[in-house]
Structure 1
Amino acid sequence: MTLAVDVFLRDADGQWNVLDVPEGCNDSAGFENWRETVWGSPAVRALGATYLPVLASSDLYVEASDVPDFLRELVLLRAHLDDVAAAVGERPDLVGSRLDNIESAALRARKIGGGVLIW
């Protein structure tokens, strides 16, 4: 099983509706074990990341109001990509491509006032 990243919108009742992934976009956020081995790893936590480490214990819901902070966290991880990849034993291009997918979803969410779900 793999982790998926999606964009969601809340309706008038506060219920969230997951949007279809646009053609040409990839929704992979990594392998299921990446919840702990990559996104929840000590290397990611040591950078001060607070959103992605949530995946170690549950799905991640980033509300629309938090998307700008989430994007800053992704920039932080990208700035330390080689170090994180080495610490978790993964190739930088593989971790980077999953960051690309997550960032793409976050940018789509920001554009429409939506949130990001990684599950």
Structure 2
Amino acid sequence: MSLSVKAFVVGEDGKRNLLDVPEGSADLAGFERWRTSVWGSESVRSLGATFFPVLASSDLTVMPDQVADFLDECALIRSNLGLVAPSADPAKSHAEYVRQISERLRNVEDAAARAQGVMGGVIIW
């Protein structure tokens, strides 16, 4: 199972309408186990992250007025990928984890940028 990321807009009826993922983009935000081993890990928490750690216990919804702060947190994580990436997994090298997390984080950043462009939000589930 995989985590997905989507941008959304809030309609006049108050419902969230998910935006299509543009061609050339992806909606993958990582493996389901990354809820705790990456996004909700102690390493991410130690950076002061507050959005991503929510994924350890539930889905994450970033409301439109929070997207700028969420993008700041994405930048914080990006600048600390070496710290965030698990290093104790004998099945995968630390460098491979860094590469995979960077790719999935790019998908999250892209969705957040699309959301910001239409005054929308982001959901990761």
**Structure 2 unmatched ranges of 5 or more:** none
- Over 3 Å counting, the alpha-carbon distance change for 1:8 and 1:14 in structure 2 is same
The corresponding residue for 1:2 is 2
Residue in 1 that maps onto 2:105: 99
| TM-score normalised by the chain length of structure 2 | 0.91
TM-score for both structures, normalised by structure 1: 0.95
Tell me the residue number matched to 2:24.
24
More helix by share: 1
1:41-85 deviations in Å (ceiling 9; x for gaps): 000000000001000111100001000000000000011111111
Is the deviation greater in 82-91 or in 55-64?
A: 82-91
Alpha-carbon distance in structure 2 between the residues aligned to 1:78 and 1:88: 20
Query: Which residue in 2 is equivalent to 1:64?
Result: 64
TM superposition shift of 1:13 = 2.1
Change (3 A) 1:92 1:49: same
Distance 2:22 2:81 in 1: 26
Name the % identity. 52
- Which ranges of structure 1 fall in alignment gaps of 5 or more residues? none
**Would the aligned equivalents of 1:7 and 1:117 in 2 still touch at CA under 8 Å?**
yes
Equivalent position of 2:55 in the other structure: 55
Deviation at 1:7, TM superposition (A): 0.5
Larger Rg over CA atoms: 2
Deviation at 1:87, TM superposition (A): 5.0
Q: Report how many aligned residue pairs link the two structures.
A: 119
Partner in structure 2 of residue 73 of structure 1: 73
Partners of 1:83 and 1:61 in 2: CA distance: 25
Partner of 1:85: 85
- Large movers: runs of 4+ above 6 Å: none
